[in-house]
Amino acid sequence: MTDVWVVPELGTNFTENFAVMLINHIYNNWSYTSLTGGEEGLNKPGTMTGQSNYIEFRPGIKDEFKTLQVLALQGRTVTVDHLQTGYKRESMTTQVWVTTLIKVAEIDDQTSLLRKMDQEIGRICGQYRQANQTGNMAGIKDLIYEGNDRIFGPKDAFNKSDWESRHSILMWYELAHGVQ
- Residue 135, Cβ neighbours under 10 Å: how many? 12
Structural domain boundaries, residue 139: 3-179
Neighbours of 53 (CB within 10 A): 10
CATH number of the domain where residue 20 is located:
3.30.2000.10
Q: What is residue 139's DSSP assignment?
A: T
Q: Single out the residue of 122, 142, 144, 120 nearest to residue 130, CA to CA.
A: 142
Contact 98, 167 (CB under 8 A): yes
Task: Give residue-wise pLDDT tens across range 2-35.
Answer: 567 888 888 888 989 999 999 999 999 999 999 9
pLDDT digits (tens, 9 = 90+) for 123-156: 999 999 876 666 778 899 999 999 999 887 767 7
3-state SS, 52-110, equals CCCCEEEECCCCCCCCEEEEEEEEEEEEEEEEECCCEEEEEEEEEEEEEEEECCCCCCC
- As a dihedral over the C-alpha atoms of residue 19, residue 24, residue 29, residue 31, rounded to 10 degrees, the angle is 90
Query: Which DSSP state fits 42?
Result: G
Residue 40 pLDDT > 80: yes
Domain count, the chain: 1
The chain-wide mean pLDDT, for the chain, equals 86
